[in-house]
Amino acid sequence: MDHPATSFQQPAYSETAQKFLARKPMLFINNEWIEAQGPTLPVEDPSTGRFIAEIADATDAEVDRAVAAARTAFDDGRWSDLPPIQRERTIHRLADLIEKYADEFAELEAIDNGKPKDVAAVSDIPGSISNMRYTAGWATKLSGETIEPMAQPRGAMHSFTRREPIGVAAQIVPWNFPLLMATQKISAALAAGCTLILKPAEQTSLTALRLADLVAEAGFPAGTINIITGNGHTAGARLVSHPDVDKVGFTGSTEVGKIINRAATDTMKRVTLELGGKSPVIILPDMDLATAAKGATSAIFYNSGQVCIAGSRLYAHRSIFDSLLENMEQAATSWQPRPSLEPGARMGPLVSREQMDRVMGYIDAGQKAGASAAIGGDAPATNGGYYVNPTILVNVKPEMSVVKEEIFGPVVVAQRFDDLDEVARAANDTSYGLGASIWTKDVSAMHKLAGEIKSGTIWGNCHSSLDAALPFGGYKQSGIGREKGREGVEAYTELKTVFIKL
């Protein structure tokens, strides 16, 4: 369903957004806005391909300044020594302020990332707020344990563990869910008592900068939260190798995750890495096809497929494969890409020209290797912007790059299977292990597959459900450690054991 080029018109930005975009490139360090000294980076609206603002590309000296601010703030205890209830309340106040400016955040996210504003308004922004509220509560609940030693007479020793904040955290987030990733990371560090430097992705820094406006007003002591923008290979790389940084929290590609893990090793920094995925969606023959088709299309087309847990490998039982695909083709008509500020838009453009080229490159490579597009496989005719049509590839083989590698776009590869053992093997035939969904009413098959698939999260009859209370992370090359839940906050603590001879 092609729209004529002229119909891809991005509606006008609000006055508030225009004012924000006209700001000078600044960095937020020590609760102050610092005018950036180094080069700048252009900000682009992926719905139009137009440059709309500039942000700072932090220099080494500016990165060092941000780290020094966080180091001093941590070492003098102005944040970590506060009563936990005060830290909890301060995180809630920041959440209150995001809530107050929710509409502005949703618009900036849409302009910067390309995701529909209507989607950001019901998903990214409320999700950010609720993540923060859940995590804030851990500030008052983290604790150690009293543990009786096994080799000491009873009463001879008082021994216990303490949870202490690790120190200064460098937090590097990607461009697919900018505010959501930023708030998830900072709230975990803050609840644990760490201070931090946040670096958003260079493609999508606007909502992190807007967040910085609110930090001092929420009541964080200077230096607790520092927010700097800049390129990954310069500002990001300096942060993760900085000797005064104790912990790195990173979400992004597996490729960069490996670089970061290596850089962190020199000073033995603690790391939490949330990396790529190639998540299978497995549909058993008993499943209602309309429900399964709706679920499988949302699993891949949500956020234009730019989701680490996107359901990008579809496995449908041979007996239902053809009818399922027909249902999916029907369901995909509601995922046609639209400009991000258009009311009612469900899927926007990809984030950048680079990402669009990458996705089209994969589709092309798949087709050259023998795959064919059941739907999509192309880009709509526009006069700017990075739109790719929802794409389902069939006639694929396990060794094709479209099946093995993370595409990070609205592209799913569809394959048939005959039995559970076969599909479990196929689902596990990947270097990733982030998410997997199983669609069936057969409880036994559901549990069998849930146990066999090597993945940090398994969904039954849904895909992509996440919750602030439940741990999230990857098996294999999808990452190290867990975010969310108690584990996500404990990842910003050291566990200390104390023995006191009585």
Do 381 and 335 touch, CB atoms closer than 8 A? no
d(CA 239, CA 30): 16
d(CA 391, CA 329): 9
Q: Among the candidate windows 161-169, 181-189, 255-263, 475-483, which touches ligand ADP by CB under 6 A?
A: 255-263
Q: Which is nearer to ligand ADP, 260 or 468 (CB)?
A: 260
Do 219 and 196 touch, CB atoms closer than 8 A? no
Query: Amino acid letter at 403?
Result: V
- Please select the residue that binds ligand ADP; options are 27, 34, 191, 240, rule is CB under 6 A: 240
Q: How far is the CB of 174 from ligand ADP (least distance, A)?
A: 4
Which residue of the chain is nearest ligand ADP when measured via CB? 232
Segment 47 to 76, residues that bind ligand ADP, using CB under 6 A: none
Torsions phi, psi for 457 (to 5 deg):
-135, 140
The interface mask with ligand ADP, positions 296-325, x = CB under 6 A, is ------------------------------
| Residue 174 touches ligand ADP, criterion: CB under 6 A | yes
DSSP 315-372: EEETTTHHHHHHHHHHHHGGG-B--TTSTT--B---S-HHHHHHHHHHHHHHHHTT-E
d(CA 145, CA 148): 10
Closest by alpha carbon to 359, among 340, 373, 345? 373
Q: Which is nearer to ligand ADP, 205 or 455 (CB)?
A: 205
| 201-213 residues labelled b (16+ CB within 10 A) or e (exposed) | bbbbbbbbbbbbe
Do 233 and 252 touch, CB atoms closer than 8 A? no
| Residue 232 touches ligand ADP, criterion: CB under 6 A | yes
Torsions phi, psi for 192 (to 5 deg):
-75, -15
| Residue 259 touches ligand ADP, criterion: CB under 6 A | yes
Q: Which is nearer to ligand ADP, 28 or 134 (CB)?
A: 28
Q: Which is nearer to ligand ADP, 310 or 374 (CB)?
A: 310
Give the residue numbers annotated as catalytic, written as ranges: 274, 308
d(CA 392, CA 311): 12
| Residue 253 touches ligand ADP, criterion: CB under 6 A | yes
| Residue 236 touches ligand ADP, criterion: CB under 6 A | yes
Q: Which is nearer to ligand ADP, 235 or 324 (CB)?
A: 235
Please count the residues of this chain forming the interface with ligand ADP, following the rule CB under 6 A. 16
Residue with tokens 């990070």: 408
| Residue 202 touches ligand ADP, criterion: CB under 6 A | yes
- Please select the residue that binds ligand ADP; options are 169, 179, 198, 256, rule is CB under 6 A: 256
Q: Which is nearer to ligand ADP, 192 or 237 (CB)?
A: 237
| Residue 233 touches ligand ADP, criterion: CB under 6 A | yes
The contact set with ligand ADP (CB under 6 A) reads 172-174, 199, 201-202, 232-233, 236-237, 240, 252-253, 256, 259-260
